Amino acid sequence: MQTRCVTEKEIEQQKELWPKTLEQIKNKKIEIENFLKSIDYKNRRVVFTGAGTSEFVGNTIAPYLGTNFNSIATTDIVSNPNNYLKKSEKLLLVSFARSGNSPESLATVNLADEIVDDICHILITCNGDGKLAVNKKDDPNSLVLLMPEKSNDKGFAMTSSFTCMALAGITIFNLDKIESIEKNINYSIKAIVKNVEGIDALIESLIKLQTSRIVYLGSSCLKGLAEEAALKCLELTAGNMSLHYNSPLGFRHGPKSIVNDSTIIVMFLSNNLYTRKYELDLLKEMYSENKKKILVTIDMKNCEEAMENSHYYISLGEIEDSINEVFNMFPYVYFAQVFALKKSLNYGINPDNPCPTGEVNRVVQGVTIYEYKGEVKC
């Protein structure tokens, strides 16, 4: 793509930043291992937290990492700390933050320190000068991990910050699998480079349809990614489109009512053969229905059945069944980010500042953090 704005450059730079992220983690491998060992993290509840896209990092990677990992938004913790933070629980709080200056991110860390007796922190942030990193850099119970400097996106929407933090979150809890992770990232980069013209052509075709509703669907980790994809388009089009997300199975339970003849449904297909059975069933069901909609399927395999039951289909690769769909997020989110960018430009909006009147800001403003005075009963 020809660079026209900061957001476009930040989408494109991800292919350079992912290997840099892994390199930085490899350089800190011993430090990370020693920290995790010192806090006995395997016997702790691990909670990923963040607000907005930073929350969706945790939502995307937690299912891959296992049942001991949860993702809870800072916006939920701050308003209801008693529901999520327990005094006697051993907790590792992993905070994701682009700027590290969001009031809820800072308040969540403070609340955890105040409420939980045995609390440790990992702070994964793109801004070494942010309050989150600065406040905890000398704390022996905290580990601050900085992402590549360029991942601190200057545009309104989080793009490279999202993917770099997600990659870091996956890797630090799988340090013995770095070579495999590196192989999957290199594959993702090659998939994007190889298919960039096909992705652009598909997006241009979808934009010409002038639809007003989009639904992103994905299973497990890819449900978290669908959430991020929906937010990205909502943000960059300044709310001009109606955006929704769900899992393929969950979509049938009421949310499918959103579909009309102005709806694009984007299916992020899993690599898991068992999971794909449910996803393909929904595609076949919707394709055969009389009610109009546009079915778009993004795949990492070559699937004739999916192609035959989609109005638009693109395969970005051919990979082994054993590779977990969490790694599909990297080429899939590239599609979603570019679509959001081009849809924004199609509306005549500046993607770097889609809300110039200030109702929504790059770093949230206007949030009052109230003093916590212990459990408040109704």
Give mean pLDDT, residues 296-302. Answer: 95
Least confident span in 99-108, 167-176, 210-219, 312-321: 312-321
Is 195-346 in the same CATH topology as 6-173?
Answer: yes
Structure tokens at 24: 């930085």
Tell me the C-alpha to C-alpha distance, in Å, between residue 208 and each of 45, 130, 197, 204. Answer: 47, 41, 17, 6
Tell me the C-alpha distance between 43 and 46, whole Å.
9
Q: pLDDT tens, 138-149? A: 999 999 999 999
Give mean pLDDT, residues 241-253. Answer: 95
Q: pLDDT tens, 180-209? A: 999 999 999 999 999 999 999 999 999 999
Beta-carbon neighbour count of residue 273 at 10 Å?
Answer: 9
Measured on CA atoms in the order 110, 116, 117, 118, is the torsion positive or negative?
Answer: negative
Tell me the C-alpha distance between 100 and 129, whole Å.
8
Q: How many helices (H) and strands (E) does the chain have?
A: 15, 10
| Domain 6-173 -> CATH class | alpha beta
* Pairing label, strands 142-146, 213-218: unpaired
Percentage of the chain with pLDDT > 90?
A: 85
Give Cα 374 distance to the centre of its chain: 33
Longest dimension (CA), the chain: 62
Q: 195-346, superfamily in CATH?
A: Glucose-6-phosphate isomerase like protein; domain 1 (3.40.50.10490)
Q: pLDDT tens, 49-79? A: 999 999 999 999 999 999 999 999 999 999 9
Look at the block and give the residue holding tokens 């005094």. 87
Cβ atoms of 79 and 104 within 8 Å: the answer is: no
User: Where do the domains of the chain lie?
Assistant: 6-173, 195-346
Give mean pLDDT, residues 243-269. Answer: 94
Q: Which amino acid is at 260?
A: N
Tell me the C-alpha to C-alpha distance, in Å, between residue 171 and each of 93, 183, 377. Answer: 16, 12, 40
Tell me the C-alpha distance between 236 and 230, whole Å.
10
